[in-house]
Structure 1
């Protein structure tokens, strides 16, 4: 009886933690969806295309930053003075560099006005600061607090946008960027009040711990940035070789797969710190656990894809307001992409937790190169077939998942101690 009670208690804790992570991603996704609906309804499909590109730049900057700084907060000892000093130095570097790159891309691609460009630079800095402490909440497995953070951001952003509408009776892309900045500040202040002081205590930036930090984070950052950079490159290619209106059509189709993409991202936010806890507890590498997660996510993605395709005739006009048509073929492409994402994420999270980031980078890098080559070939030869771009970037995900599983099994079988020695770092493969 006691065994049964203990088992049920563990299941409830697992469901609560995973549910909190997925709920957090759901709030973020719904907030982003609301902003994109505002863009397409009030400022048109061209503005939706511009907002999609700005969002892709922001996501790319955030992913590079999070995989270097945020994941290191999870995997390494964030209270070690040398590591902490290296993390502070890295955070400052990425915030400055991210803003500069974001401004350059916004200007070159002519995405918004000069005021909008300035707001976008501020948004990148605020977003990265907020993301830092979101990752601290991840490391502490405080998914309830993480959900509260994201709720504060979403509500504050939408309320600010509503206030702009009441004052001016109109929207612009700059208003959306301003509202997002206000939302970031509110969420950041809320999270800082929630965390104990030692979690946000600053130290002098230093290089002493940079070698240990980079031995993990360099490969992790490289492999984590592949997916968002591939999406950014795909969007820029569609915008350049087809048109911004076509990009809006492709992006609107992606919105119908929001439930699946939200579930996958939420699962990733839960799995990495969970696998890290298992590693720190001395538990052996068990690829079967990650494989089960992949199969569950693949099944959920396929179900969401079928539902999205079946309801596109009804939901599509609600998203676009009749400004343009969303077709089932394009939605199917994003369903393929979601299945590809699902196949690799749990296995990649386990490999990362056991400091095998180089392995993930090599597998995912090959997948990304093939996908982008297919996208560029398609758009150069037949720009009118841009709706097939999501199929191209979804190529190879299932194969990547199989390769990761096979390599993790070999790593486990070859480890004489029965588990990965965490001190060997990313070169343990």
Structure 2
């Protein structure tokens, strides 16, 4: 029998939003201070580097974080495989990213060293957050994120007191903040998961079989953001990258809200994976309508308050069209997130990645085309929103609806019964 509703904890959802907010607010404060204290070219550089950092985190978040959420991490061999992949990926990213950045002349030697430390610490800290998330321990994540923010802001404050802030100082602040988060997060992990195992016999193939596709999918959105920034640098100017970053900073709360709900839904779907696709899909549909409604209301308020709130948040007035574009992009992410998370639990991670890759390529092509034709940086997020919205629709129609139909056929449930159960979509 198909359940009418799946219990969703309002308290859990609120704490999930708080956990997303605590991380996003920390990043927002750092970038807002950077917008006020760095030159526009240095701000553009920091935006690119931070985008690369988030892209690297998406790798471990999907590869290791999603694996420990969905797979049985109590098994010693699987747990060893997860540990081994985290060590491998964090070390590889911590070396390759700064080396390439230095080799192409994008950063100095000192900046490259600090960038490497920041990347490695960020990846480990992010997986600890995912471990707490797997326990639905969102309140503990808030404590962890506050420690990151306090240490990083203290470093930035010392820069302002002792001299002129620089890109080097901001990279040092990020590295120290993430390191503090690792210490606090390790102490907050529930006792059953507060241990390491030997690498001997690590089943990293099983982890890779699931995690590789999730990592590839997790990389798509930050990869699109990084590609968009690079396209702006090449087709327009580095200053335009900084201007778009200012608009993104102002619109960040919208993405924070969407991301928080998405994080909670993924963890909740994993906990309720034994439930039917029909029931989970009905929940995803309801979540989508609620998230879109709240996002649209927040967007209207943000645009109305822009002349006053913009200078307060960033030190200058962000471009109206660019802010509206980022808000539209947040709405497009709201369309894809619930269905993508559900498909990752119930469907094929490989097929989800294929659809998400297609919508990302559509978005990137639209961005490059619009920048080439107009040179207007404010239109870039509008172009990116197109593919994302199409991706969410495709996942629902091409993956989830067929899964639901197959499930009903196996259970010998007729469509009239489905309509009576209240799960018709």
Q: TM-score, normalised by structure 2?
A: 0.89
Show the counterpart of 2:232.
238
What is the distance in 2 between the residues matched to 1:82 and 1:97?
A: 22
Q: Are 2:386 and 1:395 equivalent residues in the alignment?
A: yes
Task: Tell me how far 1:214 sits from its aligned partner.
Answer: 2.1
* Equivalent-residue separation in structure 2 for 1:105 and 1:307 (angstroms): 42
Are residues 1:278 and 2:272 paired? yes
| RMSD over equivalenced CA pairs, Å | 2.0
Q: Which residue of 103, 107, 113 maps to 1:118?
A: 113
* Matched residues, number: 402
Tell me how far apart the structure 2 counterparts of residues 275 and 109 of structure 1 sit (CA, whole Å).
43
Give yes or no for the alignment of 1:288 onto 2:279.
no
Change (3 A) 1:121 1:193: same
Return 5+ residue gaps in structure 2 as ranges. Answer: 1-6, 413-425
The residue that corresponds to 1:308 in the other structure is: 302
Instruction: Determine the structure 2 residue equivalent to 1:345.
Output: 337
**Deviations 1:18-70 (CA, angstroms, capped at 9, x unpaired):** 11111111122221121112212112211211111111000000001100001
What is the aligned partner in structure 2 of residue 55 from structure 1? Answer: 50
**Corresponding position of 2:247:** 253
Q: CA deviation at 1:224?
A: 1.6
| Structure 1 gaps, min length 5 | 1-9, 420-429
- Contact 1:291 1:405 survives alignment (8 Å): no
Aligned counterpart, 1:426: none
Render the CA deviation track for 1:273-332: whole Å, top value 9, x for unaligned: 1101111xx21113111111122222222222222222222223334434xx52211111
SS in 2 for 1:257: helix
1:202-228: CA deviations, max 9, x gaps? 223356523322221122112221111
Per the alignment, residue 228 of structure 1 pairs with: 222
* Superposition pairs of residues 347-362 of structure 1, within 5 angstroms: 347-362=339-354
Q: TM-score, normalised by structure 1?
A: 0.89
d(CA) in 2 for partners of 1:295, 1:105: 43
- Cα shift at 1:418: 5.0
**Residue correspondence of structure 1 range 326-345 to structure 2 within 5 A:** 326-345=318-337
The CA distance in 2 between the partners of 1:205 and 1:418, in whole Å, is 43
What is the match of residue 75 of structure 1? 70
Q: Distance in 2 between matches of 1:105 and 1:233?
A: 16
CA distance in 2, matches of 1:399, 1:207: 43
Superposition deviation, residue 191 in structure 1: 1.8
Task: Return structure 1 stretches of 4+ with deviation > 3 angstroms.
Answer: 108-112, 416-419
Of 266-275 and 306-315, the range deviating more from structure 2: 306-315
